[in-house]
A and B are shown apart, each in its own frame.
Chain A
C-alpha cells in the first residue's frame, strides 16, 4: 500500500532541503517547479478524487499549470535575462543553511506536536512540512543576496502558507473564486517582481540586493 500523500510531501521536503543547499539558480527554479506541482497535488490527494466536481478538477489543473509550469517558466526567463548562473557568497553559507534546514524541521515537528490539534489522518505531516516550507522560504529570503533567490524564497513562503491552509482548514470553506484570486495574485506578483528584477539588473549591472542601499535616513 503506497501512501501517495506522504510521498508527495516527502518530495516537497526534498525540494526544500535541496534548495537550501543549491547555489545554481537554474536548479533552484527546477526545484520550485517540483515543489509547486507537489503542493498543488496535496489537497487533491488529501480529499480523495472520488467525488470531485468538474469545476474543482478544472481549478486544480489551472493551479498545477500556474505553479508548476508558468511561474517556473517566468523564473527561467528572468534567470536567462539577468545572465546570472549562481549565487556567489551568500550571507549564510550552504553548510550553515543545511543545518538551519534541519533545525527548522526539528522545530516544526516540535511545534506541531505541541499544538495537539485533533486533525484528520495525515494532516499532521502536511502541517509539519508546511511550517518547514514556510520557515525555509523566510530563511532563503534573508540568507541570499540575489534578488531572484529572494523571489524564490517568497514563492516558497507562499507555498508553505498555502499548505498550512490546506492542512488546517476544512475544505468545505473553500470557494474556488477566492482561491483563484490568491493564485492570480501570486502569478501577477511574480511577473511584476520579474520585471523589476530585469530593470534592476540593467540599471545596476547586477541583480544583487546589497546594491540597493541608496534610500535611507
Chain B
C-alpha cells in the first residue's frame, strides 16, 4: 500500500519540486519569482494546445517524446521511495533501468536528428558525448555498490540488510558517491553548470535545442519526463544521505524524505545561483571529475575499507 502511495506522490509531486529551484534562484536574484506551482500551469497550458509537425519529419519524430516519457516513468516503479518497497523489483534491475533511461535518451536524440535541423544535430552530439562520460560515473557507482552490498537492485541497495548511506558501515566512501552523484544529477538533467535550462541562444544549448521543434502535448510529455528523471536522481541522492529504516514508520519516513528532497532541489537552486555555466570545453572535465571521485571510492574498497 505504502509503495503505491509513495509512487503516487512521486508521479504527482515531481513537477512541484522544480518550482522550488525557481524560487531559490529568484530569492538569490532578489526577485519574487514565479509561483511554486508554475510547472503545473505550464503543463496544463501545453496539454491544451495542439501539436505542429514539420513536413520533413517522419514517425520517428512523434515516437521520441512518447518513449522518453515512458522510460522516465518506468524507472519510478522500481525505486524504493522513502524506504517503501518498490512495486517491481528483480535481481540486477539497476542495469536494465539505466539502459531504459539510455533508450529514452536515444529516442530523444533520434527525434532531434529527424528534424534535420543543424542546431538540433549539434545539441544531440553534445548530449550524447556528455552523457557517455556520465554513464561511466554511474556504472562505477554500481560497481562500488556491488562491492559493498553484493547485489544489483535498488531495493537491495536502500532497503536491504545493510542499506547504503552516509551513516552506514562504509559511510566515508559514500561522501564521494554523494558528491559524484550530485554532479551526475546536474549533468543528466541539463542543469547549470553543465547546461543552462534558461538559455536563449541555440548555439549554447545542449538539451533545450533538441526539443525546439516539439510543441503542445509532445512538449508536455518531454517536460514531465524530465521532471521524473530529476525526481529519480534527487531521490537517489536523498537515499544516500539518509537511511530510511522501517522502524521510523512510513509517515515519518515520507516526511523526512520529502524534506531532504526539497533540500536537494534547493541545493540545485543554490548551485545555479552562485555558479556560472562552464565553457563547453570544460564540461567534460566536470563530468570526468565525478567519475574520478567514484573511482577513488571504488579503489579504496580494495583492501583498505571492507
Contacts and interface: CB of A to CB of B under 8 A. Distances in A.
Question: Do A and B share a direct contact in the complex (Cβ within 8 angstroms)?
Answer: yes
Interface stretch (A11-19, A156-164, A187-195): A11-19
Contact of B176 (A14, A112, A125): A14
Contact of A125 (B166, B295, B304): B304
A101 B176 CA distance: 15
Contacts of A95: 284-285, 288
A109 B301 CA distance: 10
B289 A10 contact: no
A2 to B, nearest CB: 5
Interface string B286-302: 00110011011001101
B289 A113 contact: no
A117 B167 CA distance: 29
Interface in A77-105: 94-95, 98-99, 101-102, 105
B289 A21 contact: yes
B262 to A, nearest CB: 24
A14 B179 contact: yes
Contacts of B288: 21, 95, 98
Contacts of A113: 303
A14 B295 CA distance: 12
Given A109-B300, A128-B304, A11 B175 contact: yes
Interface string B160-182: 00000011001111011001000
Interface of A (DSSP majority class) = helix
A7 B175 contact: yes
A125 B301 CA distance: 10
A125 B303 CA distance: 10
Nearest to B170: A6
A18 B304 contact: no
Contacts of A106: 299
Interface in B246-302: 284-285, 288-289, 292-293, 295-296, 299-300, 302
A3 interface: yes
B299 A17 contact: no
B172 A10 contact: yes
A2 B175 CA distance: 12
A18 B176 CA distance: 11
A9 interface: yes
Nearest to B305: A125
Contact of A109 (B170, B172, B284, B303): B303
B175 A14 contact: yes
B192 to A, nearest CB: 17
B171 A105 contact: no
Contacts of B175: 7, 10-11, 14
A128 B305 CA distance: 11
A56 to B, nearest CB: 25
B36 to A, nearest CB: 34
Nearest to A99: B292
Interface string A35-71: 0000000000000000000000000000000000000
B292 A6 contact: no
A50 B156 CA distance: 38
B285 A94 contact: yes
Contact of A21 (B179, B292, B299): B292
Contacts of A98: 285, 288-289, 292
Contacts of B171: 2-3, 6-7
Given A2-B167, A13-B296, A18 B303 contact: no
Contacts of A201: none
A9 B300 CA distance: 12
B286 to A, nearest CB: 8
B303 A10 contact: no
- Complex A-B, nearest 7 residue pairs according to Cβ-Cβ distance, in ascending order: A6-B172, A10-B172, A10-B175, A98-B292, A7-B172, A21-B289, A113-B303
Given A2-B171, A7-B172, A14-B175, 11 more contacts: A6-B171, A6-B173, A11-B175, A17-B293, A21-B289, A95-B288, A101-B292, A102-B299, A109-B303, A109-B304, A112-B303
Interface of A: 1-3, 6-7, 9-11, 13-14, 17-18, 21, 94-95, 98-99, 101-102, 105-106, 109, 112-113, 124-125, 128
5 contacts: A18-B289, A21-B285, A94-B285, A102-B299, A109-B303
